[in-house]
Structure 1
Amino acid sequence: MSDDSQHFAVRSRDVALDTALRIVRGARRRLSVLSPNLDPTLYAQPAMVEAFKAFAIAGRGGQALFLVQNPGLLARDQHALIPLVQRLSSALQVRVVEEAVDLDYPSAYLAGDGGDALFHPVAGRSEGEATLGDPARARQLQMHFDTLWERARPCVELRALGL
């Protein structure tokens, strides 16, 4: 950890949202999100949708990658992030985890290329920990994410139908 890095406990949804917004806004080229149902209390908030939109259209060639478990529920529940994913599919990509070992992983996280990460030991709960300015921790989560991403299948359920 560098001298200017921060590590702190996250104990409320407001702190989780503020931290996630900081991570998305601070990312330049890559964001990795592992969240079984794209936790709507975090990722479906208007400020978060706007932050992902700004990231996607910034012109830096950035990619936000999302790993989910049940895309049918996201579509059925009309998750606020889905229309954006459909419109900006080259910058915002979704894959579905299907391997038993991946489905059993209990945690959720958001990791950015700026060395920032938000980790929830239990997916869907606001309690967790955040690290800002710690490239080693973010890299650790990115490596785990990349392993799951390679095993996951493309998410066809959320594709926009062009009729």
Structure 2
Amino acid sequence: ELYFEVAPNKEIKESEVPIQVQVSYTDEAGARRVRSLTTKLKVSKNEDEIMATMDPTVGATFITQKAGEESFGGDREKGRKRIASFRSAMKSKAGAAPKAVQAMLEKADMALDMEDKEIERQEEMMEAAPASAPSGAADEAFTENLAQMKRSSKSLFRKDVDEE
């Protein structure tokens, strides 16, 4: 899975935005490969249209990874705020979403709640670590934050995958 975020530096006035993504990788035989995808994304300010095409799984995974990066860098509070902000935005728009998307929004919210609780647990663990020897707790938190940064939607939504 690859997730990326693109933020234009000015308002988009066109009805479509052309996008090209190139992925370089090494295949199982060790050969370097490049795949590219070129498409046009329709620009919309219509919430109903946006909600109808939204995949909350992708959004929740991306937010989890970004929160993991922030926690990895030592700013767990910023990571928790990022999760809370995304959850709030999802909940405020859920009413406009089709039923199928609403179910996905609920699953994404539950997954993000678990991620938030994990960051909170790490904060408590760090606070409880003895001031004279915090390295064990710090090493554990560091490892957990690294895993969070690399979390895939498959692992984030493991319960759903296990049910299939």
TM-score, with length taken from structure 2 = 0.29
Higher helix share: 2
Larger Rg: 2
Higher strand share: 1
> Which structure carries more relative contact order (alpha carbon 8 Å, separation 6+)?
1
TM-score, with length taken from structure 1 = 0.29
